[in-house]
Structure 1
């Protein structure tokens, strides 16, 4: 495996970890465990930041004139990361919504 492939797999790995943590946050919030949900959202954010940092290194390399060969694997990594970021954003909304629903039940 060459250096570029290794870098691409790191994006996929961290993106996948972020996506999994985001899903775990939704599950925890659904069960009423908002502390765990927020911790999972934090984990998701950290994993996605790692993936994004790696992605940025590829982009900065291109800006410096270091051409990156666009492969199906790179496209998959980009797609995987962007979907994971979207899921984390939605998970944040879900956690907040579950908590609001819980609070509204307490008020009635």
Structure 2
């Protein structure tokens, strides 16, 4: 996979996972925890896709094929980390709402 495709995959996966987690939180706020749980599972699967791309990049680097790390790659990683943070917070907030 070339660097542009990697960047796009990370940005898209990050954005989709973040949006899905926010949608899950909204479902939980409306009392629909079954839907919220399903959406969080979907977000996790999407993040897993991004992790697979990252793992491939790491394996390539360990095998001597260094990846070009430019501003676009940093931007893509930022999207991914933001999504992971939002997902963690949404999980906690959903658990709080579930207790109420």
TM-score band, normalised by shorter chain: over 0.9
Give the number of aligned pairs.
Answer: 100
Report the RMSD for the aligned CA atoms in angstroms: 1.1
1:32-69 deviations in Å (ceiling 9; x for gaps): 11011001100000000001111111111111110111
Instruction: Give the structure-2-normalised TM-score.
Output: 0.95
Greater Rg, structure 1 or structure 2? 1
Moved segments of 4+, more than 3 Å: none
Structure 1 gaps of 5+ residues are 102-108
Q: After superposition, where does 1:22-61 map in structure 2 within 5 Å?
A: 22-61=21-60
Q: Does 1:96 align with 2:100?
A: no
Q: CA deviation at 1:25?
A: 0.7
Distance 1:49 1:93 in 2: 19
CA distance in 1, matches of 2:84, 2:51: 10
CA distance in 2, matches of 1:80, 1:61: 22
Secondary structure, counterpart of 2:77 in structure 1: helix
Please list every run of 5 or more consecutive structure 2 residues that lacks an aligned counterpart in the other structure.
none
* C-alpha distance in structure 1 between counterparts of 2:8 and 2:29, whole Å: 32
Q: How much has 1:95 moved relative to structure 2?
A: 0.8
Aligned residue runs from structure 1 range 59-98, under 5 A: 59-98=58-97
